[in-house]
Amino acid sequence: MDHLRWLERECLALDRVVLRDLERYMGIVGAEVAMPLGEPWRVGKRPYGHAALSTTAACLKGFYLHQAALGVNAELGRRLDRSRLPTRADRRRTFLGHTTTSIPANPLAPTGPRRRHPKMLPDGAREKLLETVNSARDRMVVTWLADGGLRIGELCGLHLVDLHLRENAACGQCRSPHLHVCYRPGNPNRAEAKTKHPWRLENGTVTGGLIKRVSPAMIHSYFDYITTEYPRGRTDHGMLLVQLHGRAVGRPWAPVAARRVLRRAGDRAGLGPVKPHAFRHSFTSAVLDASGGNLLIARDAGGWASATMVDEVYGHVDVHDPAFDAALRRVWGEGR
């Protein structure tokens, strides 16, 4: 609708629009284009981000291709209907990708880096949060996010049967203590795992899903929570994290409630608002550093989709690293 209103302001009919007009519109809403943009549009509003620009470009291309199919502005349709050679990543995520010879391309799509450096936790955040939170459940949440690299939806979606916190568990899939992240779209607290690995429950034992190792600190915080705060006999859902106060005691704890607890705890600890995903970023970065830059280890430890994603997001040098500093000083001639 915004684009149609812009066309009306510019006195452009659908059959008179050219590719340069669409590029100018993309520049007005936030894309970087090297051309005069004309009169201001969306005054007082923030420019679109990269994701919104990509969505806008896809909508514009689809709209004008549909118009071209109806016989309106066929020339613009031909200029938008482009393709490109597939990359290795394109082939990997496409069904029968090895047979793919071309991929649709959008001349309106924004270019540039897709990922920023991840926002890490402040130094000492874990210790400060553990001192600040008010319950064993909240201490367990901080510990499991920090040591497990779990997403908040994965953590709040865990069931008790998903936890195999002893050596040589019955599932036979991991000798060390571990947990299974299982995709359950019907959880009463609406918490869902992002990954959808197949899993099953057989004879009371969960197999499959995304398997993640657990630390001794995670096991200790779990038993502290279960033995002191978990409302025994007042739950029938089998979920791990539950509400501890009010009329909803024993009901599954929602991810939004966990986010609020962390935000308030961060404010009280002087850290500012703490977001759960910052734990995941810090965990993956620490694993990548401890493994000497091994992308496969970092990918599997964090449950990432690919090593390429880990490399793109986390595979950058620490500008304060002594080796980095020594290399620069040697190039500058300071070590001679």
Q: State pTM to two decimals.
A: 0.70
Q: What is the pLDDT of residue 49?
A: 87
How far apart are the C-alpha atoms of 191 and 187, rounded to whole Å? 6
How far apart are the C-alpha atoms of 40 and 6, rounded to whole Å? 10
Distance of CA 141 to the CA centre of its chain: 18
Residues 260 and 254 sit within 8 Å (Cβ to Cβ): no
In three state form, how does the secondary structure of 149-199 look? CCCHHHHHCCEHHHEECCCCCCCCCCCCCEEEECCCCCCCCCCCCCCCCCE
Q: What is the pLDDT of residue 112?
A: 63
Q: What is the pLDDT of residue 188?
A: 94
Q: What is the pLDDT of residue 113?
A: 57
Q: What is the pLDDT of residue 88?
A: 78
pLDDT by residue, tens only, the chain of 336 residues: 899 999 999 999 999 999 999 999 999 998 888 888 888 888 888 889 888 999 999 999 999 999 999 999 999 999 999 888 887 777 777 777 778 888 888 898 887 655 566 788 888 999 999 999 999 999 999 999 999 999 999 999 999 999 999 999 999 999 999 999 999 999 999 999 998 999 999 999 999 999 999 999 999 999 999 999 998 877 889 999 999 998 889 999 999 999 999 999 999 999 999 999 999 999 998 898 888 888 888 888 888 877 777 877 777 666 667 877 888 888 888 755
How far apart are the C-alpha atoms of 77 and 7, rounded to whole Å? 17
Q: What is the pLDDT of residue 246?
A: 87
Show the tokens assigned to 208: 């499959």
Q: What is the pLDDT of residue 116?
A: 61
> ∠ CA(290), CA(313), CA(213), 5° rounding?
45
125-279 falls under which CATH superfamily?
A: Intergrase catalytic core (1.10.443.10)
Beta strands in the chain (DSSP E): 82-84, 103-105, 163-164, 178-181, 199-202, 205-208, 210-213
Q: What is the pLDDT of residue 336?
A: 52
